[in-house]
Amino acid sequence: MADYKVGMIGLGVMGKNLALNIADKGFAVAGWDAWADQVDKFDSESAGSPIKGFRDLEEFIRSLERPRRVVLLVKAGQVVDDTIAKIAPLLDEGDLIVDGGNEFFENTERRARELDARGLRFFGMGVSGGSEGARLGPSMMPGGDEAAYSELAPVLEKVAAQVEDGPCVTYIGPGGAGHYVKMVHNGIEYGDMQLIAEAYDVLKNIGGLSNAELAETFDEWNRGELESFLIEITAKIFTRKDDESDADLLDVIVDSASMKGTGSWTVQDAARLAVPVPTIAAAVDARVLSGMREDRLKVAKVLRGPSPSKTERTELVSDVRAALYAAKCVSYAQGMHLIRKASDDRSWGVNLGELARIWKAGCIIRAGFLGRIQEAFGRNPQLLNLLIDPSFAEELAVRQAAWRRVVSLAQGSGIAVPATAGSLAYYDALRRQRLPANMIQAQRDFFGSHTYERLDKSGTFHTEWEK
């Protein structure tokens, strides 16, 4: 009998936890995975829930209520295409496939076109919050077929994290809008994590704070304007001891960070749309540099630099707090600007205030100040840049002296702070009425006759520079 409201394909940690979450909200879930042991584990861990795992794909499809609703939580890229190729012939016209992975938005749009030609509906849905979010309530960003989303919305709205003004899920827009927004969400996440890492680096190597002192500092910050999931877990990380030694676990972790692609995709599309995202780009570059660990260890023996000098702690902690908050505001502003440009160019109609709302819980970048971002776009949905909202403009103005001191001190001490400095450079470039790009245009015209414009009259001009 067709008894199951939702079918879940991919029963790894994310798929299994999201299925358990759906079942907890009263919806029967069928599960299938290409690996039989995952199906068995799924069944054993869901005993007593309205859940059943299937080893046979056709039996799994037959078990679903019509129109069928199949959610994919499998590895992005070719695995998604291969999975769709397996299940599409077993589905009927009007059935729905949802890709809940971290997929590149153009792949989502291609699949939607291909499946539409076969009479099948499709949408891509970003799911944020990791395994815990999937189990207890994620933030979800669905985009694509709006009618199909409306059919699944009663399930998603109960499964999502809940805040005072509703569930942390909303229809993002047509096409690849959902996966695009999740991609930029992850880009902002890259920036946040790098900014926190730089704050830790400065406080540890210039301020001389111990891990215990850093834990206290970040815990205090989490009770103020920096309150966020990432600040909260950072405070906890400092306190964790290594199970195999007496050391703090953080101190035995290799300084080489990996990434799965969403940050790079964010930077690539920003370049394509001519939207500056220097904080996010710096975070991606920093991860790449960290991954070059063997090369860095060799180069470190050759290149010279200053030795970090200790400084007065209380003032430094206060300055780093201010710099981290200011740089974080700039990172979110860059992400929101990119989403707006992509939405305008691709006619998605993304509501930036709604994005801030659904990011307030369930997702990795959840933070107290997202409510204020929501309010800023509520006051002015066409806000040119988040930083010119009066409240944010004032906050950056009062923090900029500390922000500049941190960047200057770090660079003078040989501590790289590319994301913090990138945010400051973005802020300074935006606030200046005249940039040195006139020199670049003169150079381009000199060597390539690319022409230039003038301040005193309209039109384009070329000069024979070596007359």
Catalytic (active-site) positions: 182, 189
- Closest by CA to 381, choosing from 338, 349, 334, 425, is 349
CA dist., res. 83 & res. 60, Å (int): 14
Contact partners, residue 188, CB within 8 Å, separation at least 6: 280, 331, 332, 334, 335, 365
Contact present, 121 and 96 (Cβ < 8 Å)? yes
Q: Which of 103, 60, 100 is nearest to 78 (CA)?
A: 103
Q: Which two tokens stand for residue 266?
A: 């964010």
Q: Determine the length of the chain.
A: 467
Between CA 423 and CA 404 the distance in angstroms is 11
Report the distance separating Cα 244 and Cα 246, nearest Å: 7
- Environment class of 297 (CB within 10 Å of its CB; exposed 0-12, middle 13-18, buried 19+): exposed
Q: Which two tokens stand for residue 373?
A: 């971002």
Calculate the alpha carbon distances from 248 to 207, 210, 265, 293 in Å.
19, 11, 34, 21
Q: Which two tokens stand for residue 429?
A: 């470039």
Distance CA 168, CA 356 (A): 10
φ/ψ of 417, rounded to 5, equals -130, 60
Tell me phi and psi for residue 163, to 5 degrees: -125, 175
Separation CA 371–CA 362 (nearest Å)? 14
Q: Which of 313, 451, 337 is nearest to 389 (CA)?
A: 337
